[in-house]
A = this chain, B = another copy of it.
Amino acid sequence: MTAGGSLAGYLEARRAEVEAALAAFLPDPPQSPEMVDWAMRYSLLAGGKRLRPILCLASADAVGGEYRAAMPAACAVELIHTYSLIHDDLPAMDNDTMRRGRPTLHVVAGEGMAILAGDGLLTQAFLVLAREPATRDARIAARKLRVIETIARAAGVEGMVGGQAIDLASVTSTPNGRPPLELDAAGLQAMHAQKTGALIRAAAVSGAIMGGGSDGQIAAVDRAAGEFGLAFQIVDDILDVEGVTATLGKTAGKDAAAGKPTYPALYGVDTSRRLAEECLARAEAALRSADIGDDRLLAIGSWIVHRSN
């Protein structure tokens, strides 16, 4: 966290509220066998940066709205992010055994239960989005539907799932014998924009929608979040090269070992760092163009670029 005291305090306060809300948005009392309920909590309540929900809440603030109206959307995006990690970590995908400093879910609960816990988290996200905030106000209902559409589009085959499929196809040959998909630099960036960027953008856009932002404000927040997402991926790649497993909380060096193209591999570390800083400058310009001079959103961008895990 490189932001000044009050900004750091703002982000930390939001993070604490998100933690409490996440626990509250899981089914309660558990109406399912202990095991799948336990599995969902194991992965969801394992800490994590909570970047997406905090970005969602900050976007509601940035357009002059009430951030609490965006809390269900913020939590829904984190539920979806967590499900995607569970499924990505499966042996049939990235085959990762460490995540957020703990053994991955399929290691402790079995593959079948991990698949189901992911399915349950994804479905729960839409239950929360439809149900909360609990009001029949027609204006809020219209915003909720727009947010559900935004998040579903970003999480699905046009976004995250499609990006993950490209990623999968780039490292494994298919059963019908096609060789792995080759990605050049542009293909790599497009894959990350789908796999990681789309949901980060949806988090911010959903916050701006629930905060009652104008179409111009929502579009500016979307552009800024797109830059944040790109910066996030570049820094992720740098940390994968430079990091150690203990700090990252997941296995370091996996991408390089798997022969995946990364920003440091394509451009070197120094140029990659400069590219990430340039994302922040473009994000700030996008926000200023819509008269959003919000230090809190930019503090999140700075955190993304200067983080160490």
Which B residues are CB-close (under 8 A) to A168? 112-113, 116
Please choose the segment from A34-42, A205-213, A229-237, A254-262 that sits at the chain B interface, where 4 or more of its residues have CB less than 8 A away. A34-42
Q: When chains A and B are docked, how far (Å) is the Cα of A161 from the Cα of B27? A: 12
Is A6 located at the chain interface by the 8 A CB criterion? no
Is A272 located at the chain interface by the 8 A CB criterion? no
Q: When chains A and B are docked, how far (Å) is the Cα of A285 from the Cα of B126? A: 34
Beta-carbon contact of B110 and A93 below 8 Å: no
Beta-carbon contact of B87 and A115 below 8 Å: yes
Check A31/B162 contact, CB under 8 A, given A124-B156, A141-B138, A156-B123. yes
Which B residues are CB-close (under 8 A) to A122? 119, 122-123
Beta-carbon contact of A161 and B32 below 8 Å: yes
Check A108/B175 contact, CB under 8 A, given A126-B148, A157-B27, A158-B32. yes
Interface size class of A (residues with CB under 8 A): 35 or more
Q: In terms of DSSP, what is the predominant structure of the interface of chain A?
A: helix
Is A242 located at the chain interface by the 8 A CB criterion? no
Q: When chains A and B are docked, how far (Å) is the Cα of A127 from the Cα of B156? A: 8
Is A144 located at the chain interface by the 8 A CB criterion? yes
Which B residues are CB-close (under 8 A) to A115? 87, 90, 92-93, 115
Q: When chains A and B are docked, how far (Å) is the Cα of A119 from the Cα of B33? A: 22
Minimal beta-carbon separation of A13 from chain B (angstroms): 30
A contact residues vs B (CB 8 Å cutoff): 27, 31-33, 35-37, 40, 83, 87, 90, 92-93, 107-113, 115-116, 118-120, 122-124, 126-127, 129-131, 136, 138, 141-142, 144-146, 148-149, 152-153, 155-158, 161-162, 164-166, 168-169, 172, 174-176, 181, 194
